[in-house]
Amino acid sequence: MKLDPGLIDSALNELSLGHNQFPVTIELVQETGSTNADLIARAKEGNLKNATLLLAEKQTAGRGRAGRSWHSISGGVLTFSLACHFEAGVQSLLGLPLAVGVALVERLRQIGVPVSLKWPNDILKDNKKLGGILLETQSDGRGGVWAVIGIGLNLQIPAELEQLIGREVADAPWLAQMDRNNLMAQLLHSLIAALSEFQVLGFSAFTERWNLLHAHAHQAVTIIDQGQILHQGIALGVDAQGSLLLQTEIETLRIHSGDVSLRALP
């Protein structure tokens, strides 16, 4: 079934029992370059008034962290961005991508998909990437900030798209068989709950939950920046700020996300 904002909204209201305290405008475009870029531009122009979910059947210039391309195909990848306003400014967003990851993975597990979290912002299935999260921000000019959370989730990836991506990735045929409007409503319901909690309590409310979902808990990993190895050690989990705790032979380091990447060691 094709994505339909009205059907998503109806399903969301059913999940919320008619008491959604976090109203979201749901929009759909058939094709765009990047839903994140679209919402950031609207926030910059002052054209966002409330939380907005923008879905695209196809993205032609999707982006991941550090400017990496995010390849998608219509119907095979669920691509969307959610814009949410924070009065306290950018400093209040510490750990937000990780909290979003918790919300998505908890819901996907409830649906029946065995997934886990790779620090800082990947969703893994069978130790391969199933989805990714990209957070971008835009000041509102009054001390607050718009957070735009971009999400890509692989449903069914054909061989030619995997070849374009350049590495083996995961997909979830079980999700591909679901009504996408119902799937989107379930994901949005979890995101709304997480954002509401995050606005009050910050990432500290998600730290323990994230660590329970950690794909590389107590495993040997390496931290890489632009192809260069920065650190190696045992990944212990994350702290209340979302930093990775890495036990080296000498000390426990706190690794901030930035543009660094984590790789599991054999």
Q: What is the pLDDT of residue 165?
A: 56
Q: What is the pLDDT of residue 64?
A: 52
Query: Cβ(180)–Cβ(3) under 8 Å?
Result: yes
Give the pLDDT band (50/70/90) at residue 52. very high
Fold adopted by 220-264: SH3 type barrels. (2.30.30)
Among the listed residues 188, 180, 152, the one whose alpha carbon sits nearest the alpha carbon of residue 51: 188
**199 pLDDT higher than 60:** yes
Q: Is 95 left (phi over 0), alpha (psi -120 to 50) or beta?
A: left
CA distance 28 to 4: 7
Give the pLDDT band (50/70/90) at residue 75. low
Q: What is the pLDDT of residue 162?
A: 58
* Domain residue extents for the chain: 5-212, 220-264
Domain 5-212, CATH: 3.30.930.10
Whole-number percent of the chain with pLDDT over 90: 70
Q: How much of the chain is in helix, strand and coil states, percent to nearest 5? A: 35, 35, 35
Give the pLDDT band (50/70/90) at residue 20. low
**7 pLDDT higher than 70:** yes
CA distance 251 to 117: 24
CA distance 182 to 184: 5
CA angle 182, 183, 189 (to 5 degrees): 85
pLDDT tens by residue, 154-178: 998 765 665 665 567 888 988 889 9
**21 pLDDT higher than 90:** no
- The 10 Å Cβ neighbour count of residue 197 is 14
**72 pLDDT higher than 80:** no
Among the listed residues 51, 53, 63, the one whose alpha carbon sits nearest the alpha carbon of residue 187: 53
Task: At 124, list the tokens.
Answer: 């893994």
**19 pLDDT higher than 70:** no
Task: At 107, list the tokens.
Answer: 């819901």
Give the max Cα distance, the chain.
Answer: 56
Q: pTM, whole model, 2 decimals? A: 0.91
Residue 214 DSSP one-character state = B
Query: Cβ(158)–Cβ(151) under 8 Å?
Result: no
**211 pLDDT higher than 60:** yes
The three-state secondary structure class of 173 is helix
